[in-house]
Amino acid sequence: MTFNSTGGGNLQDVTIADTTDFDIAAVTVDGTLSVTSGGKITQSGGITAPNLQVIANGGSVILGPAPSGPSDPSPLPYSFANHVGTISGKATGNTAGTGNPFYFEDQDPLTIGTATADVTTENGNVTWARKIPEL
């Protein structure tokens, strides 16, 4: 894990590499949050960063509430919010040869970046969602 800072306040750039599943807790980064995992990547708190890069080698990426199932593709409710400007990443296949999904829900407009060849999966689904505030 590496951290760069430009002084007081939030972290500037954060790079995390783990050989197992990784859960992202609530974090605010002023630069790029980069997470590489040997398994799946999930979250348990809101992610705020101008740039997010996630790579799950052999696992899924589920950032936000995953859809409840094929018959109901709407996301499940959750108590945290993601605020990311640009996302890039990859979810590779598992040992069974089936694909892993890449799911991300954001509260703001989102740009798909090219830092890691856009967002890709191997035989998995890529799903984007934007939470629309209720009136």
Rounded to two decimals, what is the model's pTM?
Answer: 0.75
Q: For the chain, what is the radius of gyration of the CA atoms?
A: 14
DSSP annotation of 92 reads: -
Closest CA to 35 of 44, 45, 46, 51: 51
pLDDT in tens, 62-92: 887 655 555 455 555 556 788 888 888 888 8
Best CA proximity match to 55, nearest among 67, 45, 63 = 63
More confident call, 1 vs 104: 104
3 within 8 A of 13, measured Cβ to Cβ? yes
**How do the domains of the chain map onto residue ranges?**
7-130
